[in-house]
């Protein structure tokens, strides 16, 4: 995870080699500390590293966001995912949408499809992994769900793309050239998933 994230920091945010390792280290340290934790207090101990990670992204991003709030919401979905047997079915969907909404500064309500696909991918991975039966077919299905999730997320914070996606095929016109939008990238605690 560390080296993938450091590489992503260089390609997405143009961090230097050293800077990319510092940022990736904070995220990886948070993820591994969370993995070792067993109580809410132990989980919350990762917030300073998560907030530092998100502060670094905010400083390079064209999208301003509250790093402390995003870190707390990121941690919350990690907890809901870890304690999924204690939560109702839609709790992870909501937690994912809340974290991404704060991150991208959009209403979590616009991210329902994104969070549903992403939580479904996690569910398949978790259930099959616990049974020791993750197959190549499962990984293909997980990959497809994550691709759908990221596409839906992208549409969630690009209003012109939402309008474009709703038009019938015959009525679609090329989208006007826009200033590139550099969206901040998210991490996951137990597996790395690249940003959209």
Q: What is the pLDDT of residues 146-159, one digit of tens each?
A: 999 999 998 887 76
**Pairwise CA distance, residues 39 & 36, whole Å:** 10
Q: How far apart are CA 166 and CA 157, in angstroms?
A: 15
Q: Is the pLDDT of residue 178 over 80?
A: no
- Asked whether 166 and 124 are in contact (CB, 8 A), the reply is no
**What's the mean per-residue pLDDT of the chain?**
83
Across 103-124, average pLDDT: 94
Q: Look at residues 73, 168, 64 and name the one whose alpha carbon lies nearest to residue 111.
A: 73
Q: What is the mean pLDDT of residues 76-86?
A: 94
pLDDT category of residue 73 using cuts at 50, 70 and 90: very high
Reduced to 3 states, what is the DSSP secondary structure of residue 72? Answer: helix
Choose the weakest-confidence range: 67-71, 119-123, 160-164.
Answer: 160-164
Q: Provide the pLDDT for residue 161.
A: 56
Mean pLDDT confidence for 4-10: 91
Boundaries of every domain in the chain: 1-62, 66-165
189, HSE (Cβ side, Cα atoms, 13 Å) = 26
More confident residue, 49 or 171: 49
What single DSSP character describes residue 63? S
Instruction: Evaluate whether 92 touches 84 at the Cβ level (below 8 Å).
Output: yes
- Does the predicted TM-score (pTM) go above 0.85? no
Q: How far apart are CA 108 and CA 111, in angstroms?
A: 5
Q: Which has more confidence, 174 or 24?
A: 24
Q: Please check whether residue 172 is in contact with residue 164, taking contact to mean a CB–CB distance below 8 angstroms.
A: yes
């Amino acid at each position: 995870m560390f080296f993938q994230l450091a590489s992503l920091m260089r390609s997405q945010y143009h961090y230097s080699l050293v800077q990319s390792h510092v940022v990736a280290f904070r995220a990886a340290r948070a993820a591994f500390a969370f993995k070792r934790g067993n109580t809410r207090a132990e989980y919350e101990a990762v917030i300073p590293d998560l907030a530092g990670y998100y502060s670094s992204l905010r400083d390079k991003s064209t999208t301003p966001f509250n790093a402390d709030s995003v870190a707390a919401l990121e941690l919350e979905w990690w907890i809901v995912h870890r304690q999924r047997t204690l939560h109702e079915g839609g709790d992870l969907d909501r937690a994912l949408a809340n974290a991404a909404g704060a991150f991208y500064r959009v209403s979590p309500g616009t991210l329902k499809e994104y969070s549903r696909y992403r939580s479904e991918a996690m569910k398949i991975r978790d259930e099959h992994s616990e049974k020791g039966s993750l197959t190549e077919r499962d990984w293909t299905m997980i990959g497809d769900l994550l691709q759908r999730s990221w596409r839906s997320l992208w549409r969630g914070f690009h209003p012109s793309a939402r309008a474009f996606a709703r038009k019938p095929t015959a009525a679609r016109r090329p989208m006007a050239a826009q200033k590139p939008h550099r969206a901040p990238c998210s991490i996951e605690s137990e597996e790395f998933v690249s940003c959209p």
